C-alpha cells in the first residue's frame, strides 16, 4: 500500500497542472492596464451559458463576432454588441474573420464542442469551452493535444474551480487531512430534462398517432396535423437545423425535443447527467485524490434504447493505487437516488439533493467543507498554515465566480501563460472530462433496467476497452472516437 505523504510545492503543481502558487490569503491582483483591452473575442453558441460566457468575456476584451444557429438568439444578442458581426455557421466566421479574432467562447450543444474548439485551436485561438469539454472521450484527449501544440490559453466552463474554498479543500486532501482516500460518493438531481426510451418523434409517427387518437373525428386530426406542420415550419425559419446537427447523423427536427436545452438527454447530442454535472461534482475529488487512470467502470440504469439516455443511473468506477494513495472506489448516483443509509448516518450526508463526499482513512469531507471523522464526529481540518494552493486572480467589487473564471482565462492570455488557467485543456479539463465520460461507456452497456450492465475494463493511456472482445453491446467506439458526418472535418483522435 503506498504511503500517504504531504505534497511538496513541486509535487502539488505537478498533480494539479498549475503553474502559479500562493499561500492562503495572498490574493493575486490583476493589472488590467496590461490588457490594453486588445483581446478580440468571438462567441460561438450564445444562448444559455453561452450568453453569460460572451458577456463575461466582453468585460475584459472586445466582442467582434457572434455565431449561433438560432437566428432569434443571434439577433437579440447582436443588440448588446452592435459592433460585432453575426454568423450562423462557425466555419464561415473563421473563414472571414480568422485573422481578426484572438479568443473564442464555445457554448453550443455538447456534440459540437469538439469540432468548433478544434477549428479554433488550429488557428491558434485561445478557447473557453463549456463543460463537458466534449461529448466523447477521444475528443477530449485530442483537444488537450491541440491546445498544447498551439500554445494557447484554454479554460473549461467548470467555474467552481475558481473558488478559494474549492482550492483550499483540494489542498486539504492533498495535504492528508483525510488520511489516504479510499472512496468517493457523488449524487446529483440531474436529469431535470426528459430522458428514457422511445422518445423520438417524427411527422410520420405524429400523423399516425393523431389519426388513431381521433379516429371518430378525422377533421380534428387534420387540424392538429396542419397546426403541427405550421409549428415546425416556423421553428425552422428560426433555427438552422443542418448547422445545429453539425457532425451528428441526420435526423428529423421535432419541436421541443432537441433545441434548445433538452438535447442533453440524447446520445447523439448530449452526455446525460454525468456530462452535465460530473465536471462540477467530481472536480474536487478528481483533483485532490488524483483520480486519473481509472481501470474499470460498471453501471445500473432504468433502461435505455441507445437513442435517449436512461431516466436514472448509478456508475461505479475503480481507480488503482498510485504513488500517493491506495485504490479508490467512486460511485455516482443521479436522479436524486438514495445513498447507503449507513453512510448517510455515519458521515451526516444529506438524504436528498446534491452531495459529493471524499472518504479517507481518517474521515470524510463533503464539498461544502464539512469534516467528519471515522466515528461520525466533527473533525478539524488542517490549519491554513499547512496548505499551499494556487490563488485565482480577483477583481475588486466582483464576487461572481463564473465571471472570475473568465478573468483567470484572460489573465493567462494577457500574461502569455496557459498554465495560469486551473481548468486548462491539456492538464485538467481534458483528463477530467475523459474520466467523467468513461461512466457513459458503462451506461451504454447497461440498457436493461435495474441490473448491473457490462463492466468496462479500461486503459486510459491508449483509450482502449481491454475486454472489448467479451462485451456483447455494440457501438462503444462511437463514444470514444466518433466519426463526423455531413462533411465536417474529422478530428484526429
More confident residue, 260 or 204: 204
Mean pLDDT taken over the chain: 92
Per-residue pLDDT reduced to its tens digit, 12-36: 343 344 433 443 333 344 444 344 4
| DSSP code, position 213 | H
> Sorting pLDDT into bands at 50, 70 and 90, what band is 37?
low
Q: pTM for this one?
A: 0.93
Distance CA 99, CA 331 (A): 46
- 277-315 pLDDT per residue, tens: 999 999 999 999 999 999 999 999 999 999 999 999 999
pLDDT at 59 over 50: yes
Q: Which residues pair with 186 in a beta bridge?
A: 332, 356
Confidence at 147, pLDDT banded by 50, 70, 90: very high
CA nearest to 422, candidates 33, 21, 56 = 21
Q: Which residues have C-beta within 8 Å of that of residue 377, sequence separation ≥ 6?
A: none
From 32-36, 328-332, 383-387, the region with the lowest mean pLDDT: 32-36
Q: Angle CA(84)–CA(89)–CA(91) in degrees, nearest 5? A: 95
Q: Look up the CATH number of domain 164-195+266-391+430-479.
A: 3.30.360
* pLDDT number for residue 397: 73
When pLDDT is averaged across residues 448-464 and rounded to a whole number, the result is 98
- Angle between helical axes of 164-174 and 9-16 (0-180°, round to 10): 120
Q: What is the pLDDT of residues 93-115, one digit of tens each?
A: 999 999 999 999 999 999 999 99
| 3-state percent helix, strand, coil for the chain, nearest multiple of 5 | 40, 20, 45
The domain segmentation of the chain, as residue ranges, is 16-162+392-426, 164-195+266-391+430-479, 203-256
Specify whether the CB–CB gap between 316 and 297 falls below 8 A. Answer: yes
| CATH architecture of structural domain 16-162+392-426 | 3-Layer(aba) Sandwich (3.40)
Amino acid at each position: 500500500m503506498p504511503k500517504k505523504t504531504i505534497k511538496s510545492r513541486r509535487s502539488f503543481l505537478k498533480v494539479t497542472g498549475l503553474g502559479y502558487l500562493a499561500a492562503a490569503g495572498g490574493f493575486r491582483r490583476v493589472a488590467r492596464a496590461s490588457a490594453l483591452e486588445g483581446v478580440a473575442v468571438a462567441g460561438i453558441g450564445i444562448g444559455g451559458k453561452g450568453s453569460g460566457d460572451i458577456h463575461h468575456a466582453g468585460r475584459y476584451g472586445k466582442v467582434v463576432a457572434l455565431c449561433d444557429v438560432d437566428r432569434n438568439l443571434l439577433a437579440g444578442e447582436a443588440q448588446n454588441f452592435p459592433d460585432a458581426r453575426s454568423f450562423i455557421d462557425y466555419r464561415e466566421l473563421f473563414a472571414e474573420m480568422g485573422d481578426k479574432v484572438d479568443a473564442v467562447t464555445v457554448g453550443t450543444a455538447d456534440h459540437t464542442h469538439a469540432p468548433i474548439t478544434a477549428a479554433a485551436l488550429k488557428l491558434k485561438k485561445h478557447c473557453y469551452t463549456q463543460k463537458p469539454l466534449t461529448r466523447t472521450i477521444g475528443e477530449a484527449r485530442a483537444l488537450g493535444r491541440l491546445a498544447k501544440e498551439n500554445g494557447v490559453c484554454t479554460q473549461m466552463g467548470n467555474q467552481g474551480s475558481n473558488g478559494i474554498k474549492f482550492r483550499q479543500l483540494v489542498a486539504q486532501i492533498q495535504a492528508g487531512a483525510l488520511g489516504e482516500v479510499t472512496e468517493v460518493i457523488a449524487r446529483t438531481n440531474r436529469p431535470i430534462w426528459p430522458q428514457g426510451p422511445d422518445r423520438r418523434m417524427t411527422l410520420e409517427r405524429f400523423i399516425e398517432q393523431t389519426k388513431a387518437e381521433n379516429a371518430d373525428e378525422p377533421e380534428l386530426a387534420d387540424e392538429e396535423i396542419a397546426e403541427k406542420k405550421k409549428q415546425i415550419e416556423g421553428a425552422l425559419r428560426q433555427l438552422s437545423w443542418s448547422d445545429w446537427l453539425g457532425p451528428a447523423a441526420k435526423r428529423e427536427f421535432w419541436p421541443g425535443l432537441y433545441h434548445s436545452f433538452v438535447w442533453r438527454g440524447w446520445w447523439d447530442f448530449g452526455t446525460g447527467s454525468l456530462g452535465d454535472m460530473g465536471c462540477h461534482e467530481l472536480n474536487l475529488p478528481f483533483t485532490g485524490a488524483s483520480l486519473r487512470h481509472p481501470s474499470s467502470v460498471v453501471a445500473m440504469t432504468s433502461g435505455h434504447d441507445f437513442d435517449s439516455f436512461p431516466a436514472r443511473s448509478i456508475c461505479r468506477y475503480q481507480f488503482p493505487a498510485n504513488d500517493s494513495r491506495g485504490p479508490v472506489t467512486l460511485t455516482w448516483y443521479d436522479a436524486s437516488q438514495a445513498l447507503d443509509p449507513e453512510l448517510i448516518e455515519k458521515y451526516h450526508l444529506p438524504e436528498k439533493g446534491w452531495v459529493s463526499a471524499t472518504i479517507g482513512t481518517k474521515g470524510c469531507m463533503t464539498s461544502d467543507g464539512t469534516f467528519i471523522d471515522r466515528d461520525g464526529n466533527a473533525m478539524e481540518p488542517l490549519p491554513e498554515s499547512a496548505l499551499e494552493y494556487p490563488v485565482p486572480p480577483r477583481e475588486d467589487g466582483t464576487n461572481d465566480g463564473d465571471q472570475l473564471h473568465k478573468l483567470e482565462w484572460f489573465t493567462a492570455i494577457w500574461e502569455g501563460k496557459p498554465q495560469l488557467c486551473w481548468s486548462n485543456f491539456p492538464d485538467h479539463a481534458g483528463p477530467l472530462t475523459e474520466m467523467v465520460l468513461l461512466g457513459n461507456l458503462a451506461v451504454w452497456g447497461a440498457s436493461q433496467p435495474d441490473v448491473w450492465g457490462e463492466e468496462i475494463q479500461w486503459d486510459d493511456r491508449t483509450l482502449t476497452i481491454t475486454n472489448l472482445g467479451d462485451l456483447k453491446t455494440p457501438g462503444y467506439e462511437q463514444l470514444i472516437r466518433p466519426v463526423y458526418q455531413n462533411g465536417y472535418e474529422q478530428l484526429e483522435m
